[in-house]
Structure 1
C-alpha cells in the first residue's frame, strides 16, 4: 500500500446490515466505496437477466470491477470497502463454482500488494434476511455463506473483527478501529 491509504473491508453475508453500517460511516465522514455485486445484479435485472449471479461471467465481472474501483479511488487516508475480491472468492466457493483466472488474479493482487488492511470487519447475520429481487437467500443459506466468508479470510491470513450487538454498537466498534 505505497499510497498510504488504509483500506478496510466490511463484509458478511447478505442481510447482515452491512449497507446500513456503511451508510452510518459515510455520514460520519468516512470514504466508503460501494459494493459491486448487488449493483451489478440490479443493473442486469433491469436489463432483463433475472438471476445474473448464475451466469458464467458474473464472478469475473464482479472481481474485475472490484479491482478497477479500488485502483480508481481518489486519495483518502481511510477507505472502507463494501466487500473485496476475497468476498467474490467466497461467493465462488458458496456457489461451488470454479475460481476463474480473473478472480484468482484479483485475489492474488489484493494479497500480494497488501491492498487491504489485515483487519477485516465481518458483520454477523442479524437472525433474519429480508428478501429482495437482488437478495434471494434464506437465513439458513445466509449462515452458510457467512461461514464461507470467514473461512476464506482466515485461510488468507486476515484477522476478523466481528462487531456484536445492535447497530449503534456495531458502528461504534468499526469507527473506533478506523480512527
Structure 2
C-alpha cells in the first residue's frame, strides 16, 4: 500500500489538507492523538497528555487505524501523522518514549515520504490544542528533527492557500509514482 504521511505543527492545516484529499477520493488515516485527548477529556481527564500511558494510548489507536487502512489495497493512502509524531510529542513534553513506540518506528517501511506542512502563522486554540503560536514553532522544529533523525524523506508544503498545498502534494505523489513505474 503506497502511503504518505502529513505532519507539521499543531494548527498548520493538515486536517484541511486531509479532508480535501479525502473528498478528492483518496483514502485517509485519521490522526490519533487528538482523538485520544478528546475521549479522555470527555471522560473527565482535562490534560490526558500528562498521563504516563498517553503515548501508548496514541500508539494503540494509530496501530488499529493503520491495520484498517490495509483494506485500501494499492490505493494511495494519506496518514494524518504517524508514530514518529508521537515520538516528537514525547520529546516536546519531556516524556520517555515507550519502547513499543520506538519499535513501531523501526518497523515502518512503507510510508517513508512525509509531507511537512508548514505553519500558517497562527494557531487556533481548541480543547485538545492548548499551544501558543510561539510554542508551536518550537514543536515544528522538534517534529522536523525527529523525522530527519528517523531517516524519512521530507517534502516541504509551504504556507499558502489550501488548493495550492493540495496541488503540491498531488504533483509530488504523481512524480514519485512516475519514477517508480516500470518502463
Of 97, 104, 107 in structure 1, the residue corresponding to residue 105 of structure 2 is 107
Of 164, 168, 177 in structure 1, the residue corresponding to residue 172 of structure 2 is 177
Please say if 1:137 is aligned against 2:131.
Answer: yes
Could you tell me which residue of structure 2 aligns to residue 34 of structure 1? 30
Of 142, 145, 155 in structure 1, the residue corresponding to residue 149 of structure 2 is 155
Could you tell me which residue of structure 2 aligns to residue 56 of structure 1? 52
Q: Gapped runs of 5+ residues in structure 1?
A: none
Cα RMSD (Å):
1.1
Alpha-carbon shift at residue 65 of structure 1 (Å)? 1.8
**Greater CA deviation, 139-148 or 69-78?**
69-78
Scaled by the length of structure 2, the TM-score of the pair is 0.89
Count of aligned pairs: 171
Scaled by the length of structure 1, the TM-score of the pair is 0.91
Of 4, 11, 33 in structure 2, the residue corresponding to residue 8 of structure 1 is 4
* Native 8 Å contact 2:9 2:136 kept in 1: yes
Please say if 1:123 is aligned against 2:120.
Answer: no
CA distance in 2, matches of 1:39, 1:174: 25
Q: Gapped runs of 5+ residues in structure 2?
A: 175-183
Structure 1 runs of 4+ aligned residues shifted over 4 Å read none
